[in-house]
Amino acid sequence: MTPFETIRGALSESGIDDCAAIPLSAVKIPKKYLLDRFGLSPESACAVMAVIPYYTPFCEGDRNISAYAVGKAYHLFWKKVCDAVLPGLKVAFPLNTFVGFTDHSPLAEVNAAACAGLGFVGDNGLLIPPKYASCVFIASIITDAPCEDGFPAAIPQTPPTCPHCGACRRACPTGAIGRDGKDAVCLSALTQKKGVLSIREEELLRESGSVWGCDVCQEVCPFFKKAKKENTIMTKIPFFYDDPLPCLTQEVLDRMEENAAKERAWFWHGRSVPARNAALIAKNDRPKEDRFQ
């Protein structure tokens, strides 16, 4: 088997069914130093991009955190995948280098995945594979092994984009999407902001009812609605069904042990940020369905 076929087969064994390759020379590389650490060159290396669906039935119904954070942090899943896959690749292709990345990546991941043919870029900046809507994580295995058989038939100079229906822009709680959002802050970013919040920022958090993240722009997207209707949005990966936590309160934070908390995406800045948000949300007595109306 070719290197790409081997990688694709190994990822499939971990439940990842959607991957494609792209030469690094065709994508944006904002953190080249991460390639330099492993002696990989943008001129000769390529990336096998993978989309990892995370949406489960536990993301439905009442929750106060983003759907991506309901399960355990996906970085843990990708580490398990890499621990299982990379040693075998190095044995099969001993003259080549294979390195796994996600989130902290040398690549502009959305750009690379879209150029590889795995979806298109929404006006909210997220990758949208039609089957899963934007409810995916992006990961990559970067290698200097030849993976041309995984390249798209025609590599675009710029990534494909969504049809620009405007639904996400109109629904954005802070006006952060599109031309009107020059001075606006994404609500998801606001829920993750450290330090002291302004009075307006506190009001936005109370109004949102969100302790961590925001899914408004995703949930109004026609592709999200279509994926739910056709029941393709749900992940089949067992990891994301393990120990779901749709609602995060101060009580939950207080009783959660440190090691368990570290397995959650919302623990990125420690307990203080979600605890602050939970306290603000607790002061809002307005029904959730009335917020932002």
So which residues are the catalytic ones? 103
Gap between the Cα atoms of 51 and 14, Å rounded? 12
The token pair at 47 is: 């990336």
DSSP SS3 for 106 = coil
| Intra-chain end-to-end CA distance of the chain, in Å | 56
Gap between the Cα atoms of 40 and 43, Å rounded? 9
Q: What is the DSSP letter of 196?
A: P
DSSP line for 254-284: HHS-HHHHTTSGGGTT-SHHHHHHHHHHHT-
Per the CB < 8 A criterion, the answer to whether 59 and 67 are in contact is yes
For 49, phi then psi, to 5°, come to -85, 140
Residue with tokens 């606001």: 190
